[in-house]
């Protein structure tokens, strides 16, 4: 049966350790299911208070989980807190401030939590009305459960990466490119970690991958961009 792992240090960091250039890249896949925490907020004050104590898995879900959740990607408000403040509380100012919060710039979820609470408190200081304003719909804190499984496919050589990427499921893209950042100690994606294991040879590709914004792209777009970058890079290597 399934082996339970509650920590965020996944197996990819071990199987794709830097320096182990002979090791293949093991392609994994994942599925996410959402769970309600049953905690709600109807005002901005309540949102701020709840955010201080809500489990970190919930903050992770509201920033990243929605990438795999069944809903349309909101091109303007990339995290659920910003979208709720805009659409249910109708405060454009805070919505914009929250929308640009980029989770990958924070060391961990606790730092991210502090930033969110700070932004909310700052806005409450600016607008007394927001202290009392009731949202049209409550914010319901969710978390996700992630199941990771082996696809029994692997990439033996970096030149195979572009084709493998273009065929990857969105679950695999999520696991290796998004989830890796919170799962591994190096906080980088699995592709870069694996290429880094070949020494300085692929530094240029790693640099280009680092410039792909995981937050303002859908998983489809991420897959396309990563496949293009690696295809272009390896074509140059072959020339």
Partner 1 sequence: MTGLLASYAEVAGKDVVKHLRQLAAPLKTKKVVHVNSTRSGGGVAEILTKLVPLMRDLDIDASWEIVTGDPDFYQCTKSIHNALQGHPGPILPTLIKAYEKTSAENAERLRPVLQDADVVIIHDPQPALLLSHCPDRKGMWIWRCHIDVSRPYRPVWKYLRPFVEGYDASIFSLAAFTQQLPHPQYLIPPSIDPLSEKNMPLETRNVTETVRRFGIDPAAPMILQVSRFDRFKDPIGVIEAYRMANSFVPDLQLVLAGGTASDDPEGEAVLEEVRQAAQGDPDVHILLLPPDSHREINALQRAADIILQKSKREGFGLTVTEGLWKGKPVIGGATGGICLQVANHHTGFLVSTPQGAAMRIRYLFRHRDKIEEMGAKAREFVRENFLLTRQLQDLLTLMVGLMSKAEDRIELG
Q: Which is nearer to partner 1, 26 or 233 (CB)?
A: 26
Is 28 in contact with 148 (CB distance < 8 Å)?
Answer: yes
Residue 231 tokens read as 């295809």
Query: Is residue 169 at the binding interface for partner 1, with CB under 8 A as the rule?
Result: yes
Helix, strand or coil for residue 36? strand
CB of 42 to partner 1, least distance (A): 12
Residue 117 tokens read as 């609470």
CB of 238 to partner 1, least distance (A): 28
Query: Is residue 14 at the binding interface for partner 1, with CB under 8 A as the rule?
Result: no
Q: What angle do CA 224, 227, 231 make, to 5 degrees?
A: 140
Residue 182 φ then ψ, to 5°: -100, -10
CA dist., res. 110 & res. 114, Å (int) = 6
Query: Is residue 132 at the binding interface for partner 1, with CB under 8 A as the rule?
Result: no
Q: Which is nearer to partner 1, 2 or 22 (CB)?
A: 2
CA dist., res. 103 & res. 109, Å (int) = 8
Q: Which is nearer to partner 1, 152 or 200 (CB)?
A: 152
**Cα–Cα distances in Å, from 118 out to 30, 40, 111, 151?**
33, 19, 11, 42
Query: Is residue 8 at the binding interface for partner 1, with CB under 8 A as the rule?
Result: yes
For partner 1, the binding residue among 26, 27, 32, 47 (CB under 8 A) is: 32
CB of 210 to partner 1, least distance (A): 25
Is 63 in contact with 84 (CB distance < 8 Å)?
Answer: no
For partner 1, the binding residue among 86, 143, 176, 223 (CB under 8 A) is: 143
Which one of the spans 111-119, 149-157, 198-206, 208-216 is the region binding partner 1 (CB under 8 A)?
A: 149-157
CB of 106 to partner 1, least distance (A): 19
List residues binding partner 1 (CB under 8 A): 1-8, 10-11, 29, 31-36, 38, 57, 70-72, 74, 137-138, 140, 142-151, 169, 171
């Amino acid at each position: 049966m399934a082996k339970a792992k509650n920590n965020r240090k996944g197996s990819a960091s071990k199987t794709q350790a830097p320096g182990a250039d002979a090791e293949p890249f093991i392609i994994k896949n994942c599925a996410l299911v959402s769970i309600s925490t049953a905690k709600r907020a109807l005002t901005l004050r309540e949102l701020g208070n709840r955010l201080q104590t809500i489990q970190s898995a919930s903050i992770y879900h509201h920033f990243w989980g929605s990438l795999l959740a069944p809903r349309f990607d909101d091109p303007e408000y990339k995290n659920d807190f910003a979208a709720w403040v805009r659409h249910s509380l109708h405060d454009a100012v805070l919505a914009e401030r929250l929308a640009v919060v980029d989770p990958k710039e924070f060391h961990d979820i606790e730092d991210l939590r502090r930033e969110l609470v700070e932004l909310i408190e700052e806005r409450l200081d600016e607008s007394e009305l927001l202290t009392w304003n009731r949202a049209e719909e409550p914010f319901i804190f969710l978390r996700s459960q992630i199941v990771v499984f082996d696809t029994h496919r692997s990439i033996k050589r970096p030149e195979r990466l572009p084709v493998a990427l273009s065929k990857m499921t969105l679950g695999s893209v999520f696991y290796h490119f998004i989830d890796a950042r919170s799962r591994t100690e190096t906080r980088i994606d699995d592709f870069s970690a694996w290429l880094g294991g070949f020494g300085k040879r692929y530094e240029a590709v790693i640099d280009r991958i680092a410039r792909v914004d995981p937050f303002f792209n859908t998983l489809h777009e991420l897959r396309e961009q990563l496949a293009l970058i690696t295809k272009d890079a390896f074509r140059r290597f072959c020339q």
